[in-house]
Amino acid sequence: MINGILWVLGCQLVGEVLVRSLDISIPGPVVGMVLLFGVLSLRRPGSESGTLRFSDGLLRHLQLFFVPVSVGIMVHASEIGQQWLPIAGGLVFSWAAGLVTVALLASWLTRRRGAEAEVRG
Amino acid sequence: MAETLDFLRDSPLTWVFVTLAAYRAGLWVRGRTHGHPLAQPVLVAAALIIALLAVLGIDYDTYMTGGGLIHLVLGPATVALAVPLHRQAHHLREMALPLVVALPAGALVSIGSAVLTVRALGGGDALQNTIAPKAATTPVAIAIAEGIGGVPALVAAFTMLAGMLGAVFGPWLLDRLGVQDRRVRGLAMGSASHGVGTSRSLHDSVVEGAFAGLAMGLTALLTSVLVPVVVALL
């Protein structure tokens, strides 16, 4: 388990150092995620690996870790009240636009690939 | 007595305990409602803590002496998202073209339309930067907002709302579009509504859930690359 914690924290640390020294705007933990993905692809650990068990444990209670940030809403309550229209409009419209774009493009591309395979087959 | 109360207010232990207890209550509510999409443990927990702090007259900074310790684990938990992505990696080749084309297009549309709609309806720069990363999974969206001058507390709320929209209305909208391929439905749900959408997809079909998880991971990556660029251009 200690090894698992070291791998996860180590990937984040390297990620944080990389984004700062290269001055890129991607969050450090996201770079850490890419690094850990690379490590897992190379080492292919078994299901008993500490890294997998530690990560699964963190992810089972992922919502716990954004409770403190969410409590910060109390500081912004009046802002939300004043700007409810752009908030609600932006959220609903961009959510639907993103979902529709992915759904239509992906179904067109998979259907096209399916049709090509039939012609070749 | 006053000394004891001072200790309780100033000790991080109190606020770590309160946060865990409130989250536990959130899990209980989710269990009682059989996993209803609106019963997210984080929302129940945050509402309980905000109510408690308001009653006791405690400010957010005091709460964060303990809350900050739990917040620290958000980084490693984000890194841990590599594990489900690793488990779905064998799907990468099967759907390579849709993944490479549809997911970046979806992320661009989602970020761009969020910024432009907020601007058109009279929202300021800070609000635009806060709503732009909302399609990414919450920990990543928070980190992005911190980086570009958004408001992390609000992005957490917006992201949860985007997730709930997906869990409640996503399958309905996909039916209206006539999308029946479970793989495509999963990609759309995971890319627009991250983990909350993924759990709904998983509930509907294992295949759909796997693709939703894959789309969630890749969209988190794409969003963190694209948000700073799109925000600078628009």
Are A24 and A48 members of one domain?
yes
Judged against a pLDDT cut of 60, whether residue A120 lies above it is answered with no
More confident residue, B35 or B70: B70
Are A30 and A82 members of one domain?
no
Are A17 and A52 members of one domain?
yes
Residue ending a domain, among A16, A36, A60, is A60
What is the predicted pLDDT for the residue at B197? 87
Judged against a pLDDT cut of 60, whether residue B51 lies above it is answered with yes
Are A56 and A77 members of one domain?
no
What is the predicted pLDDT for the residue at B7? 93
Burial of B12 (0-12, 13-18, 19+ CB in 10 A): middle
Domain that holds residue A81: 71-121
Q: Which of the residues A5, A102, A105, A109 would you substitute to probe the B interface, choosing the one with the greatest number of B C-beta atoms within 10 Å?
A: A102
Are A92 and A119 members of one domain?
yes
Are A83 and A113 members of one domain?
yes
Judged against a pLDDT cut of 90, whether residue B57 lies above it is answered with yes
The pTM of this model reads: 0.86
Picking from A16, A86, A102, the nearest residue to B118 by CB comes out as A86
Are A54 and A82 members of one domain?
no
Are A5 and A52 members of one domain?
yes
User: Minimal Cα–Cα distance from A103 to chain B, Å?
Assistant: 5
Please judge whether B23 and A70 are an interchain contact, meaning their C-beta atoms are less than 8 angstroms apart: no
Mean pLDDT of B201-230: 89
Mean pLDDT of B6-13: 93
pLDDT tens per residue, range A32-88: 999 999 999 999 888 888 999 999 999 888 889 989 988 988 888 888 888 999 999
What is the predicted pLDDT for the residue at B21? 98
B29 part of contact set with chain A, CB < 8 Å: no
pLDDT tens per residue, range B153-178: 888 889 888 988 898 899 999 999 99
Are A16 and A55 members of one domain?
yes
From the list A27, A24, A63, the residue with the least C-alpha distance to B30 is A63
What is the predicted pLDDT for the residue at A117? 64
Residue ending a domain, among A12, A30, A60, is A60
A66 found inside a domain: no
What is the predicted pLDDT for the residue at A119? 58
Mean pLDDT of B225-231: 92
Total domain count, chain A: 2
Are A7 and A53 members of one domain?
yes
Q: What percentage of chain B carries pLDDT values higher than 70?
A: 100
What is the predicted pLDDT for the residue at A118? 60
Which B positions 52-111 lie with beta carbon below 8 A of chain A? 53-54, 60, 63-64, 67-68, 70-71, 73-86, 89, 95, 97-98, 101-103, 105-107, 109-111
**What is d(CA B111, CA B113) in angstroms, rounded to the nearest whole number?**
6
A65 found inside a domain: no
Mean per-residue pLDDT of chain B:
91
**What is d(CA B68, CA B84) in angstroms, rounded to the nearest whole number?**
26
Are A44 and A18 members of one domain?
yes
* Reported confidence tier of residue B1, pLDDT bands at 50, 70, 90: confident
ipTM of the complex: 0.88
A120 found inside a domain: yes
Judged against a pLDDT cut of 90, whether residue A107 lies above it is answered with yes
Are A51 and A3 members of one domain?
yes
